[in-house]
Amino acid sequence: MAEPLAKRPKIIRGEDDYMPGNITEIELHNFMTFNHLKCKPGSRLNLVIGPNGSGKSSLVCAIALGLGGEPQLLGRATSIGAYVKRGEESGYIKITLRGATKEEKITIMRKIDTHNKSEWLFNGKAVPKKEIAEITKSFNIQVGNLTQFLPQDRVCEFAKLTPVQLLEETEKAVGDPQLSISHRALVEISKELKNLERAVETNEKTLDQHKAHIAVQQREVERVRQREELGEKAKTMEKKLPWLKYDMKKAEYMEAKEKEKDAKSKFDEAAQILNDLKEPIGRQKQEKAKLDAKVKEVQKRINDNARKRTDVMEKAEHLGVLVQGKYKEMEDLNRQEESRKIRISKAKEDLAAAVLDLENLPPYEPPKSEMERLRNEILEQEVSVRRNRDLKSEKENDLVQKKVALRQCTDRLRDMESRNTKLLQALKSSGATRIFEAYNWVQAHRDEFNKEVYGPVLLEVNVTDRLHANYLEGHVPYYIWKSFITQDPRDRDLLVRNFKALNFDVPVLNYFGSEDSYRAPYQISQQMRELGISSRLDQVFDASFAVKEVLTGQCGLERSYIGSKETDLKADQVLKLGIFDCWTPENHYRWSKSRYGGHVSGSVEVVKQSRLLLSGSDVGEIERLRSRIADLEQSISSLEENVKSLQIEQRHIEDKSAELRKQQEEITEVSRREKHKRREKENRINQMKRKLEALEKEDDLDTTLAKLIDQAEEFNIQRFHCSMEFKKLLVEAVLLKQNLAERQMASFEFEAKIRELELRLKEHEKSALQATMHFENCKNVVQNYREQLQNAKRLAESIAVITPELEKEFLEMPSTIEELEAAIQDCRSQADSILCLNRNVIEEYEYRLRQIEAISTKLEADREKLRRHKAEIDELKESWLVTLRRLVAKINDTFSRNFQEMAVAGEVSLDEHELDFNQFGILIKVKFREEGELQVLSAHHQSGGERSVSTILYLVSLQDLTHCPFRVVDEINQGMDPINERKMFQQLVRAASQPNTPQCFLLTPKLLPDLEYSEACSILNIVNGPWIGQPSKVWSGGDCWRSVAGLVGETRS
């Protein structure tokens, strides 16, 4: 059994006439049109009155946003930052609710800023938004429920509510708190119930079909099973066949194993003989190696002896040469004594002639004045060259810098002039990912078009002014910037077909007009100029005629004007000139006129910076770059001329300087030659003197001869010692040769023995090799048989592993391969003789048995679940439907009674649909003429005023039943005729005067005269403007309108 539904507690007014959750104070700061506002609503009906644009709807927005609502609920801006007053960075909403007692105050503050950030405070303490939502939920405040909160921009949504949606909203607003929960539970359970009924029906049919098939397949299954038994018997026999083959392979393997054993013994015997022969050969080789080492040692000593004998012989021959040399020197000395005396006489004569020649040489004086003059002129030329070089270097540096700057400016100009690429990249970055492919496709297929095709539009528009680019991009929708424009329907179809096939996702627009089409003339009146309006948006850019016409026609550019900062100060006067769209450097003003009441509403948005139009090129910057390039080219040309003239001048100076240096060098060369000539004569005289002195100082002949004789005798003694040494070495060499011959003979004997043993070893190696090859062959054969045996065993084991049961079956089968194969063939033949049309019949039979079991289990569970769901629905429906009928009956009584006072007739009924709980709804039926019939409230049957009357009367009918603390209705009386509006107001006043009705806010720009008010009514006048500061203080103090008007007059004067 479900628990009984909990009743929502009835809200009772306190001594201060306020109920818990009523709004006792609203404070706004920098919110929408308000700098600062503080108001204290009454506890019952609050009439918020003020002209259009004064800020009535701002109060509604503040209540919704301040109590946890999202901007999307209001039907206005979608971001919270848009609600901050223009020109300010942040603001706040502060709402005070009455608590459970008169003294308890609940303060909720929401701080907002232009960066779309919100901060929540509860009684001055920062809290998360979730806690604010829990507080509003505890008071049943539902800002998203149209029956509780009906802002101006969502009035039409209430009329569009379907009966089902109206029931859902009414359940949330009135009745028990579990009413809507029970409704949703019934909807979900009824869906499950329908699904279960369909599932039970389907399973019952499926179960019957499976049982019918089982009966048909029974006999076929028996035949198949007999066939399978024969097949299984044949398969069992086939399992023994590989084991018989395994036994045969095992016998072959054992035979090969015995042969391998014999070969192994022969191989071991040959190996032993080889080892016995190799051992004496090794010993003989070791002895021979030792003997060879001694032979090498003797040979080395013989070689050393031969080398020593060679050295002694060479020394003796050298000493003989020295002796002969001394004898020759003695003969030469006797001949040179006579020649020395002749040379001394000749040297004296040559010295006297050279002295005489030096004395006759005239002196040479260099021209010092001429050298000084040339030196000064050369210095002057060097100074000129250095100065000219510095000036030329300075000019060349300037030239290099100018050329670098020119190259940088040229590169930047080329980059900026690649406008199309940058604009296409901007479109791609903003979301048109395949715009490059679309543009390239159009360029490649231009010859297929009948007329010129433009696009993307962004590439066809040229705006020179940055502010105008901001205005134009903000006014024109984004999809147009990436669109292509055709002038022929066939071109449009071609583009659309190919773009769709290639998945480019780029719009295509077709222009049907011609250049002769009429367009309103461009005029700016004097009044517009006084307000700072200087141009129209269709006049500030250049484009081809077709592109401009499409932009103007699609976006209404000819109705959008461009103002200045002065226009911001006089924005309230712009509308008087019939301008509904105006741009200024900071703001975008838009006004719209209601099609029903004719009232005008306005909005102001901040002008955003252009992201597309200004990404291509800056025209002013391009012009500055071109001017800069021209100046640089002129400067470079002038500098190149200056450098060229400096080079010519420097070359002239260098030539002159070279000529002067040449003259200086000629004078210097003459002076050098004269000095060199005198110095050579002096050197020659000095040499002659030294030669004469050397000839006179030579030793006498006898002393020199005695020295030469002594030296020759010494050399002969050394030659005798060398002969004795050579004789000794020769005797030693003979002994060594004899020893070497003896040792070599012994080595030859060892070598002969080793050759004889190796011949015997080779003979036995041949027989050992044969034994080895035979053994290896046997091993290979054994290995081959082993692998075959292993393969046969693996094959047999893969087919069947022998178990005790299987071994017993094998004993009953034939024991040879031929007999076993014949028995297998007999079983196969018997099985093939049994005809079987459907080989999968057993699988199908067993599958259907499993399906029958599973479906039976599922069917029983579904039937049990179906019984539980029906019982649960009956129990829930009994409590929910009774409560809902009672609630709708109460709403109908109040609605019918109120409607009879204002119109002809009206009723509220519950649209029931048995168990289709998702189709339950509330029908509002009304008629405003006697001859008509009751019609369901909709836009097809009633006018806008009639729907407004019906809506407000339905909301009034909920007053007594609503357990929410307040209700907000914004300009619901717009479009009503005076009679219905007066009756509607009386209904509201009467409903507000009832005890325990919720607090109500009715916002309207005007009220009819002579309305009947009661103590339950509170009037909140909203007056907004530049002179409202001081009058508001007087008004708040309780003075009359006359004082306020007088104060305003003084302020203006």
Q: Tell me the pLDDT of the chain averaged across its residues.
A: 78
Beta strand extents in 32-146 (DSSP E only) = 34-39, 45-49, 90-98, 105-113, 118-122, 125-127
More confident residue, 1044 or 26: 26
562 backbone φψ class: left, alpha, beta (φ>0; ψ -120 to 50)? beta
CB 381 within 8 A of CB 657: yes
More confident residue, 628 or 622: 628
Distance CA 449, CA 719 (A): 123
- Angle 630-632-636 (CA atoms, 0-180°, nearest 5)? 120
Phi–psi pair at 315, nearest 5 degrees: -65, -40
Lowest-pLDDT choice from 2-11, 425-434, 739-748: 2-11
Q: Return the structure tokens found at 625.
A: 């770059």
pLDDT value of position 776: 80
Say yes or no to pLDDT of 561 above 90. Answer: yes
Say yes or no to pLDDT of 384 above 70. Answer: yes
pLDDT value of position 173: 66
pLDDT in tens, 959-977: 666 667 887 877 766 666 6
pLDDT in tens, 369-381: 777 887 788 788 7
pLDDT value of position 689: 72
Say yes or no to pLDDT of 581 above 70. Answer: yes
pLDDT value of position 2: 39
Say yes or no to pLDDT of 501 above 80. Answer: yes
Least Cα distance to 112 among 130, 96, 94 occurs for 94
Average confidence (pLDDT) over 503-529:
78
Split at pLDDT 50, 70, 90, the class of 48 is confident
- Angle 795-801-806 (CA atoms, 0-180°, nearest 5)? 125
Say yes or no to pLDDT of 18 above 70. Answer: yes
Average confidence (pLDDT) over 654-662:
79
More confident residue, 262 or 323: 262
pLDDT value of position 1052: 39
Say yes or no to pLDDT of 5 above 50. Answer: no
Average confidence (pLDDT) over 328-353:
70
pLDDT value of position 1032: 64
CB 907 within 8 A of CB 935: no
pLDDT value of position 619: 46
pLDDT value of position 8: 44
Distance CA 151, CA 970 (A): 5
Say yes or no to pLDDT of 349 above 80. Answer: no
More confident residue, 681 or 1035: 681
Least Cα distance to 92 among 60, 70, 55, 65 occurs for 65
Least Cα distance to 876 among 169, 181, 7 occurs for 181
Q: What does DSSP assign to residue 84?
A: B
Average confidence (pLDDT) over 712-728:
78
CB 75 within 8 A of CB 20: no
Split at pLDDT 50, 70, 90, the class of 818 is confident
Cβ neighbours for 392, distance < 8 A, ≥ 6 positions apart: 643, 646, 647, 650
More confident residue, 367 or 423: 423
pLDDT in tens, 194-253: 887 788 888 888 878 777 777 766 666 666 667 666 667 767 777 777 777 777 777 777
> Percent of the chain, pLDDT > 70?
82
pTM of the model: 0.39
Say yes or no to pLDDT of 156 above 70. Answer: no
pLDDT in tens, 93-134: 999 998 888 888 889 999 999 888 889 999 888 899 888 888
> Percent of the chain, pLDDT > 90?
10
Distance CA 881, CA 911 (A): 11
Say yes or no to pLDDT of 1 above 50. Answer: no
Cβ neighbours for 1043, distance < 8 A, ≥ 6 positions apart: 1034
pLDDT value of position 700: 56
Lowest-pLDDT choice from 290-294, 432-436, 525-529, 573-577: 290-294
Beta strand extents in 864-962 (DSSP E only) = 905-911, 921-927, 935-936
